[in-house]
Chain A
Amino acid sequence: TQLLEQSPQFLSIQEGENLTVYCNSSSVFSSLQWYRQEPGEGPVLLVTVVTGGEVKKLKRLTFQFGDARKDSSLHITAAQPGDTGLYLCAGLDYMFGNKLVFGAGTILRVKS
C-alpha cells in the first residue's frame, strides 16, 4: 500500500510569515503533485515535480522533490490570506495505472 504522510495537519499563521509543508512516503513515485482545495470546490493542480532533487518556483511558492523521489516539500514565503486552503500532495505511479495517491492534506489558515 502506498501512503503519503503530510505534516503539519493544520497551520494557522499571521500574514507575512513563512511556512513549510512536508509530504513523506516510504514508496518511490514517478512524480509528485501538489494541489490546493478551497471549500466546496475540487482540488486544483499547483505543480508537478518529476525529477529527484527538482525545485520549482511559482511566485511565492517553492516546491522541492526529494533526491530519492519519496518526499516533497512546499514552502510559502510571506503568506497572504488568499493562500488559505487545504494543500494536498499526491503521488503518481505508472505501475498503478496513473492512479494518484493523496496525502491527508494540510489545512492552512493565514490571518490578516
Chain B
Amino acid sequence: DSGVTQTPKHLITATGQRVTLRCSPRSGDLSVYWYQQSLDQGLQFLIQYYNGEERAKGNILERFSAQQFPDLHSELNLSSLELGDSALYFCASSVDRALGGYTFGSGTRLTVV
C-alpha cells in the first residue's frame, strides 16, 4: 500500500457518458497530480493541484476537469467520453518540492465501450 488511494480500480462505461475518479493523497502530501497512461502515449501529465489550488496544467482535454477539496482528496471528472479515452488514470502525491519523488496510487482502468 503506497498510501495513495484511488477508486474505483476498474470502470467500464459507454461513449458519451461522464465518470468521476477519486484520489486520496498520502498523509501529509499537499500536491496531487493526475496522469493518463496509454500504450501509445505513455504517462501523460494532466493536471496538478497544491493545497486546493490548480498549479500546473498539461495536455488535459476541455472535456476533463479536476479539483482538490479542503480535505486534500481530489477528483478527476471525465465527460462526453470517447473510445480513445480508454486508459489507465493515475493519481500521485508529493511534498511540495517533489525531490523525494511522487507516490503513485494503483490507478483506475477506464474502458469506454
State the A residues within 8 Å of B (CB): 31, 33, 35, 40-45, 48, 50, 88, 92, 94, 96-105
> A92 — nearest CB in chain B belongs to which residue?
B98
**Residues of A contacting B31 in the complex (Cβ-Cβ under 8 angstroms):** 98
A99 near B97: Cβ-Cβ < 8 Å: no
Given A42-B90, A42-B105: A100 touches B98 (CB 8 Å cut-off): yes
Q: How large is the interface on B (under 10, 10 to 19, 20 to 34, 35 or more residues)?
A: 20 to 34
Kindly identify which residue among B42, B97, B106, B107 contacts A103, using a CB–CB cutoff of 8 Å.
B42
> What 0/1 pattern do residues 51 to 74 of B give for CB contact below 8 A with A?
000011010000000000000000
State the B residues within 8 Å of A (CB): 2, 4, 31, 33, 35, 42-43, 45, 48, 50, 55-56, 58, 90, 92, 94, 96-107
Kindly identify which residue among B4, B92, B94, B99 contacts A50, using a CB–CB cutoff of 8 Å.
B99
**Residues of A contacting B43 in the complex (Cβ-Cβ under 8 angstroms):** 43, 88, 102, 105
Kindly identify which residue among A42, A48, A98, A104 contacts B104, using a CB–CB cutoff of 8 Å.
A42
